[in-house]
A = this chain, B = another copy of it.
């Protein structure tokens, strides 16, 4: 069975960077299957990268190696790390970009990668995707010897994905992402607002918009009217049927979302 290596970066696809990473991987291990998760992470945005890999990795086969490079500190003393959990492997800078992965597992091992003979030489100060992360992922897919790459650590960087706050009858969340369709993906889960799922009356506000309806499918939304849908990753999304809620409502990432119950 061919090993699978996934790539998640903020490199975009208009430059040659992603192609170069794939060339480096195939030079080391020509027998891997390489899959792009996305290269459209918002530039330098570690939270956005954390959400991308956190919502995707669990759908890949056991033993998949996920190379995640959102790395504004490339070339500084932030460490390169290797993480193993839940039958998956991750190679990334130690800047918190794996935080959403860590949140989904209890059996987690993390190594500081120090074995430089696995790196591409000379090591640049500006493209560790090519010189460190891609080659380490490729060598791991040949040997599977995690401990050969460095030393176990426990003080790795981890930040909290923004969580909703409850006060009285109000739950306050935030728009975490705007997706391709202009849907506003919030950080509110059904379990944060159980009354929503039970169809009890709630008032949902985001920016100047008031959302009155909770529906099960995008298509149930009346034309032009924002509705709440439970998205495929379990988060509530504010959507408009066949239109971009972000553009129509003038709302983007970071906008506060409040749910008033009853």
Q: A13-B38, A56-B16, A72-B242 are in contact. Are A181 and B23 (CB under 8 A)?
A: no
Q: Which of A14-50 contact B (CB under 8 A)?
A: 14-20, 22-24, 26-27, 30-31, 33-40, 43-44
**A101 beta carbon closer than 8 Å to chain B:** no
Q: Which residue of B lies closest to A24 (CB)?
A: B59
Q: Contacting chain B: which of A152-160, A204-212, A215-223?
A: A215-223
Copies in the complex: 3
**A115 beta carbon closer than 8 Å to chain B:** no
Distance of A226 Cα from B26 Cα, bound (Å): 36
A15 touching B180, Cβ below 8 Å: yes
B40 touching A14, Cβ below 8 Å: yes
Q: Contacting chain B: which of A139-147, A162-170, A188-196, A229-237?
A: A229-237
* Interface size range of chain A in the complex: 35 or more
**A202 beta carbon closer than 8 Å to chain B:** no
In-complex Cβ contact of A13 among B6, B39, B216 (8 A): B39
Q: Mark A49-91, 1 if CB is under 8 A from B, else 0.
A: 0001101110111001000000011111000000000000000
Give the residues in chain B near A74, CB-CB below 8 Å. Answer: 217-219
**A12 beta carbon closer than 8 Å to chain B:** yes
**A130 beta carbon closer than 8 Å to chain B:** yes
What's the nearest-Cβ distance from chain B to residue A215, in Å? 9
Give the residues in chain B near A76, CB-CB below 8 Å. Answer: 217, 219-220
- Ranked nearest first, the 10 interchain pairs of A and B with the lowest CB-CB distance are A14-B40, A75-B217, A19-B37, A127-B232, A12-B180, A23-B59, A23-B60, A16-B56, A27-B61, A20-B59
Q: Please give the residue numbers on chain A whose beta carbons come within 8 Å of chain B beta carbons, in ascending order.
A: 1-2, 4, 6, 8, 10-20, 22-24, 26-27, 30-31, 33-40, 43-44, 52-53, 55-57, 59-61, 64, 72-76, 124-127, 130, 179-182, 216-220, 229-232, 241-242, 244
Listed A/B pairs (12) with beta-carbon separation below 8 Å: A2-B31, A4-B30, A15-B40, A15-B179, A16-B53, A19-B56, A20-B55, A23-B35, A23-B59, A23-B64, A43-B182, A72-B218
